[in-house]
Amino acid sequence: MPSLDILDIDANHTGEIFLRDDIFAVDPKVHLFPLIIRSQLAARRQGTASTKTRIEVKAGGKKPWKQKGTGRARAGTRASPLWRGGGVTFGPKPRDYAFKVPRKVRKAAMRSALSLKLRDNQLLVLNRFDLPEPKTKQFLAHKSKLGLGRALIVIESENPNLQKSARNVPEVKVLKSAGLNLYDILRHDQLVLTRDAIDYIERVYGE
């Protein structure tokens, strides 16, 4: 069972925590990562692109000219896709790009990502991350003491002072544990978990 030091926001040692083997010490299944990330990014797409077909274009119902005798090609409607301002053939329509991935696969991928962070010494555990006021300068001071760079900070519940202090720091993202996802874990070099966030993760992602 792996263990990690628990730190405070000034990087002082405050205790030790033992992490579950079935979440933080599994054999990483990295082949699952592309599928999960594609699923996440697809779900974020708006899917609002739209074009009008020849039925939807306002072009009147009148035939542009008579069928024969003009020397021109036959034309039945100004809404034809061949005409400027006509309908669009096979154009985009509003759609939902999201697709589902089995829950077991999502959990396996999350456990793999957490295990990789621990294996690569990119996982940090804090008892809490409480700031007295929403000040970016204070947050940066604690960030420096903890040796954080591009980091994802995961908290259990709302923490307005921390969330407001970190939102102007581009390389840092603060997430509630309920919103923890594979994409954000992998795109940040370091993962910072509060003690309460670990309790949530072990409760949700345990086997």
What average pLDDT score do residues 70-77 get?
94
Amino acid letter, residue 75: A
pLDDT at 1: 82
pLDDT at 157: 87
Which residues lie closer than 8 Å to 158 by C-beta, 6 or more apart?
176
What average pLDDT score do residues 5-15 get?
92
How does the average pLDDT of the chain come out, rounded? 94
pLDDT class of 59 with cuts at 50, 70, 90: confident
Which residues lie closer than 8 Å to 161 by C-beta, 6 or more apart?
130, 131, 132, 133, 134
From-to residues of CATH 3.40.1370.10 in the chain: 3-46+101-205
pLDDT at 61: 83
Amino acid letter, residue 182: L
pLDDT at 92: 96
What average pLDDT score do residues 182-193 get?
96
Q: Rounded to whole angstroms, what are the CA distances from 132 to 57, 67, 97, 159, 161?
A: 60, 81, 43, 11, 7
Q: Which class in CATH covers the domain with range 3-46+101-205?
A: alpha beta
Q: Rounded to whole angstroms, what are the CA distances from 140 to 129, 167, 171, 198?
A: 13, 11, 11, 24
Write down the pTM of the prediction.
Answer: 0.84
Side-chain half-sphere of 74: how many Cα atoms within 13 Å?
3
* SS3 at position 161: helix
List, for residues 143-183, the tens digit of each pLDDT value. 999 999 999 999 998 899 999 999 999 999 999 999 999 99
Strands 3-7 and 13-18, bridge-based pairing: antiparallel
Give strand ranges (E) for the chain: 3-7, 13-18, 123-126, 151-155, 172-176, 190-194
Choose between 156 and 60: higher pLDDT. Answer: 156
